[in-house]
Amino acid sequence: MEYNGAKILVETLIEQGTEVVFGYPGGQVLNIYDELYLNADRIRHVLSAHEQGAAHAADGYARATGKTGVVIATSGPGATNLVTGIANAFLDSVPMVAITGNVSCNLIGRDSFQEVDIVGITMPVTKHNFIVKDVRDLADTVREAFRIAKSGRPGPVLVDIPKDVQVNTAEYIKKPPVQPDAKKAPDAAQIERAVQMIAAAKRPYIYFGGGVITCDAGDEIMALSQKIDAPVGCSMMGLSAIPNDFASFLGMVGMHGHYCATRAKAEADLIIAVGVRFSDRATGDKSKYAKDAKIIHIDIDNAEIDKNIPSTLGINCDAKIALQMMLEQLNPLKHDEWQQEVRRLKQYEHDNAAKCLGKLTPYRIIDCVGALTQADTPIVTDVGQHQMWVAQHYPFKTARSFISSCGLGTMGFGMGAAIGASIATGKRAVLFTGDGSFGMNLNELATAVSQKVPLVILILNNGVLGMVRQWQTMFYNKHYSNTTLDRKTDFPALAKAFGAVGLSADDETSLKEALKQAFATDGTVLIDCKIDDDERVLPMIPPGGAIDDLILK
Partner 1 sequence: MAKKFVIGMLVSNHFGVLTRVSAMFSRRGFNIDSLTVGVTELPEYSRMTVTMTGDNYARDQIIKQLQKIEDVKEIKELKHAQSVMRELIILKVAATSENRKDILETANVFKAKIIDFSPDSICIEITGECSKLDAFIELMKPYGIIEMCRTGTVAMDRGITSLKDEI
Closest distance of CB 285 from partner 1, Å: 18
Footprint of partner 1 (CB under 8 A): 119-120, 123-124, 127-128, 148, 301-303, 305-307
| Catalytic residue check, 51 | yes
- CA separation (Å) from 28 to 9, 72, 76, 92, 161? 14, 11, 9, 29, 9
Q: Is 438 a catalytic residue?
A: no
- Going by C-alpha positions, the residue among 491, 494, 488 that lies closest to residue 506 is 491
Nearer to partner 1, 125 or 234 (CB): 125
Beta partners for residue 73, in sequence order: 100
Per the annotation, the verdict on 467 as an active-site residue is yes
CB nearer to partner 1: pick between 17 and 310: 310
Give the nearest distance from C-beta 123 to partner 1 in angstroms.
6
Minimum CB separation from partner 1 for residue 128, in Å? 4
Active site residue 396: no
Residue from 7, 127, 150, 163 carrying the catalytic annotation: 163
How many residues does the structure list for the chain?
553
Note if 278 is an active site residue.
no
Q: How far is the CB of 278 from partner 1 (least distance, A)?
A: 14
In order of 25, 103, 377, 424, the CA distances from 55 in angstroms are 13, 21, 21, 14
- CB of 181 or CB of 337, closer to partner 1: 181
- Of 147 and 469, the one with the shorter C-beta distance to partner 1 is 147
Distance from C-alpha of 42 to C-alpha of 53, rounded to nearest angstrom = 23
Nearer to partner 1, 44 or 128 (CB): 128
Which of the residues 252, 467, 470, 530 is marked catalytic?
467
Q: Which helix (H) or strand (E) holds 510?
A: helix 508-520
**Residue among 51, 115, 444, 535 flagged as catalytic:** 51
Nearest approach, Cβ of 157 to partner 1 (angstroms)?
A: 9
Q: Which residues contact 477 (CB under 8 A, 6 or more apart)?
A: none
Q: Which CB, 302 or 324, lies closer to partner 1?
A: 302
Active-site pick, 67, 114, 307, 329:
114
DSSP 108-153: TTTT-TT---HHHHHGGGSSEEEE--SGGGHHHHHHHHHHHHHSSS
DSSP letter string, 220-266: HHHHHHHHHT--EEE-GGGTTSS-TT-TTEEEE-STTS-HHHHHHHH
Query: Is residue 201 within 8 Å of residue 38, measured between CB atoms?
Result: no
CA distance 206 to 331: 17
Residue 419, classed as helix, strand or coil, is helix
Q: Which is nearer to partner 1, 301 or 513 (CB)?
A: 301
**Least distance in angstroms from the C-beta of 302 to partner 1:** 5
Q: What amino acid occupies position 492?
A: P
Report the alpha-carbon distance of residue 125 to residue 157 in Å, rounded: 9
Most distant CA atoms of the chain, gap in Å: 72
Minimum CB–partner distance for residue 296 and partner 1 (Å) = 18
Catalytic residue positions, numbered: 51, 113-114, 163, 467
